[in-house]
Amino acid sequence: MPRFAANLSMMFTEWAFLDRFDAAADAGFSAVEYLFPYDFAPKDIALRLQRNRLDQALFNLPPGDWSKGERGLAALPDRFGDLQAGVRLALDYAEATGVGRLHLMAGIMDPAQAAAAAAYRRAVAWTAETLGARGLDLVIEPINKRDMPGYFLNDYRLAESLIDDLGLPNLRLQFDVYHRQIMHGDVTTALRRLLPIVGHIQVASVPSRQEPDGEELSYPFLFAELDRLGYAGFVGCEYRPRAATKDGLAWFAPYAGTPGDRR
């Protein structure tokens, strides 16, 4: 059975961020993910994880100045030093939370620019090697042009080619079903082919990016397919609830665990 991680940047937003850990555990989740932890002290996040017996599935490396439209630094030729500083910061949070994988955002750049392609390759290789020394995986995620116009990594073929070319054992693909369906379709066949390099999976309905309970895709089929394929990683629930988060969890009921007792 898939192991679902509530995405606390999108779900349970009726609560303050640190209280979302409690809400997710109360709803039966055994793991969480989110975009960025950096507004909070590592020890405060670690405390919420520990008292709720939650695993930290994933979070993103620092993306630059999000408020100014930056969506990652990896493909920006003049920001390698900032990227390195961000990786060092993220490692403090990784140690505190026990996370096993981090996502590196590519940034807003034209993938046809040679300088951007070279910068991205350098950043991915350096980051993967740095994380690997700590026993961590690096994941890279193609993102569709509709949700993030101008994003450098906007094609699964580019991600697959880079992972294959670099040949680093801890460099993996973040397979977001929502983005895959919008970009290329053919989700099930792609999962079957790419699973050996997949390090994390995320889900949401298409096209609304809401609960994975309808619209274009049959998620009960896909969840069963993950079992058939032997996928043992996390499935991140990166969706925007239609209304109150807990009111939209009927899809999750067959998979929910028993809420953990807090310490």
* Longest CA span, the chain: 53
Catalytic pick among 33, 211, 225, 238? 238
User: Which domains are seen in the chain, by residue range?
Assistant: 3-255 (3.20.20.150)
Rg of the chain (C-alpha set) = 18
pLDDT at 263: 41
d(Cα 248, Cα 14) in Å, to the nearest integer?
13
Tokens linked to 250: 């009927």
Q: Is the pLDDT of residue 151 over 70?
A: yes
Q: What is the pLDDT of residue 258?
A: 66
Is 160 one of the catalytic residues? Answer: no
Active-site residue 211, yes or no? no
pLDDT of residue 31: 98
pLDDT at 91 over 50: yes
Catalytic pick among 33, 141, 211, 225: 141
CA 29 to chain centre: 16
pTM listed for this prediction: 0.96
pLDDT single digits (tens) 226-263: 999 999 999 999 999 999 999 999 999 999 986 654 54
DSSP H helices, the chain, are: 17-26, 42-51, 80-97, 114-132, 156-166, 177-183, 187-194, 219-229
What does pLDDT average to over the chain? 96
What are the pLDDT digits (tens) for 123-134?
Answer: 999 999 999 999
The continuous run of DSSP H or E covering 3 comes out as strand 3-7
